[in-house]
Amino acid sequence: MRTPPIDPAFFAANRNRLAALLEPRSLAVLHGNDRMPTSGDGVHPFRQQSDLFYLCGIDQEETVLLLFPQAREAGDREILFVRPADERLALWEGAPLAFEEARRRSGVATVRSVLEFEAAFRRLALEAERIYLNANEHPRAASEVETRDARFARRCLGRFPLHRYERLAPLLRRLRAVKSPIEIELIRQAAEITGAAFRRLLGFIRPGVWEFEIEAEIVHEFLRRRSRGPAFEPIVASGENACVLHYVHNDRCCRAGELVLLDFGAEYAHYAGDLSRTVPVSGRFSPRQRQVYEAVLRVQKAAIALMRPGTPWAAYHEEVRRLVEEELVGLGVISRAELRDQPAERPLYKTWFPHGISHGLGLDVHDAVDPEDPFQAGMVLTCEPGLYLREETIGVRIENDIWITPEGPVDLTAGIPREVEEIEALMAAGPGA
């Protein structure tokens, strides 16, 4: 393991919180992710299904967690199924997690071979009245790849059609939205690694550097600091690419006088950091670039101040809209008369700020949160305003990671430079500054 192990009491507490939300005589099942193929005999690096990891901390394929809080036998109330020992697999890839190690990491007392799952599930399903199944219900999920959870759900519904079925996803979304102190520290560590990479870039970016060279510097800093690597594909967008929201080609040469928009984050112990910064390739902002940058920064600072427990999402978005509109007027992009006449169904500010202001952050870089719920203490949300003036080849986004506490917002990325003067000074100082 690259990172110190997470206290198994964290996973046990998560299971207990979920168990308290289940209906009586309910059986819940969660499957880990598959290893995804590339082509030929290749596979992508494995990344565990986040809900399963949240409940047991096992980062290995062919893992199944079964929860039955009211099972007759105490040993059946939590069962973790993992891959058994395999000499051939051990020779080629290393031995799978030993049962005792899986027990130690997860805090689950009953650990069995995954080959025993089907028989155990059938036995316990006949004892249960309800079966809770998991699915990826993220509102932006658009994958056509069928998950292990989905395959099992189809099979389960065919074998046990008379049971009552319930959804785990809404319950887990509610639980994962509010972070524990352990999670806050892991996200803070991911943010610190991300910040170290950004400082490295300030001494590296200059005219003639390619976007992929900047990406290489990011990944280098991540790996040397015990990160598994990027939590998502890094965006390194120079010139006109800065106005493409999810540009990931990173194959253009950075030119003098341009801006380069950076959106990247380290993954640490499965938790994500997420940072956006925009810097001048030549080391100094032009007057117009600075004007737009500082407008975005003012919006961000005002938006962060609104991120307090009890703030409704709708009210937050409406106030951010007002802030952005004021800055667009100040920049001469839009007039007050145009604002007065804009159609309600197509607000004009979306032309220059087309994406959302905040999203959840945690085990997934876009942790799902319920927009019907107000902000809660313990949530971690990004704050990422941007302005994209395509006609002027100016794209600016600034993103920080905010922990909402009873006392107000705490910026987990507060130490990462974002003021114009600080960025320019560090770029002028060169490598190692």
Q: Give the tokens for residue 310.
A: 């009890």
Catalytic hit among 183, 258, 267, 274: 274
Question: Is 34 marked active-site?
Answer: no
Residues in Cβ contact with 420 at an 8 Å cutoff, skipping those fewer than 6 apart:
285, 290, 293, 294
Q: Give the tokens for residue 81.
A: 């199924």
Question: Is 384 marked active-site?
Answer: yes
CA distance 79 to 120: 9
Angle between helices 420-429 and 287-305 (to 10 degrees): 120
CA distance 207 to 3: 36
CA distance 417 to 199: 8
11 burial (CB, 10 Å; 0-12 / 13-18 / 19+) is buried
Question: Is 397 marked active-site?
Answer: yes
Q: What is the pLDDT of residue 372?
A: 86
Catalytic hit among 192, 221, 267, 399: 399
Question: Is 388 marked active-site?
Answer: yes
Question: Is 247 marked active-site?
Answer: no
Residue indicated by tokens 């009953």? 110
Question: Are the beta carbons of 270 and 50 closer than 8 angstroms?
Answer: yes
Catalytic hit among 268, 359, 364, 401: 359
Residues in Cβ contact with 202 at an 8 Å cutoff, skipping those fewer than 6 apart:
279, 417, 423, 426, 427, 433
Q: Give the tokens for residue 57.
A: 């901390």
Catalytic hit among 258, 327, 384, 424: 384
Question: Is 144 marked active-site?
Answer: no
Catalytic hit among 122, 322, 355, 390: 355
CB atoms near residue 19 (< 10 Å): 16
Catalytic hit among 76, 221, 263, 401: 263
Question: Is 373 marked active-site?
Answer: no
Q: What is the pLDDT of residue 433?
A: 66
Question: Are the beta carbons of 193 and 268 closer than 8 angstroms?
Answer: yes
Q: What is the pLDDT of residue 431?
A: 85
Starting at the earlier edge strand, list the strands of the sheet with 266-268.
229-230, 266-268, 271-272
Question: Are the beta carbons of 137 and 169 closer than 8 angstroms?
Answer: yes
At 284, which amino acid appears?
A: R
- Which residues are registered as beta bridge partners of 396? 387
CA distance 400 to 417: 11
Low-confidence residues in the chain, pLDDT < 70: 433
Question: Is 83 marked active-site?
Answer: no
Question: Is 274 marked active-site?
Answer: yes
Domains and CATH numbers, the chain: 8-177 (3.40.350.10), 181-429 (3.90.230.10)
Question: Are the beta carbons of 289 and 258 closer than 8 angstroms?
Answer: no
Q: Would you say the pTM of this structure is higher than 0.75? A: yes
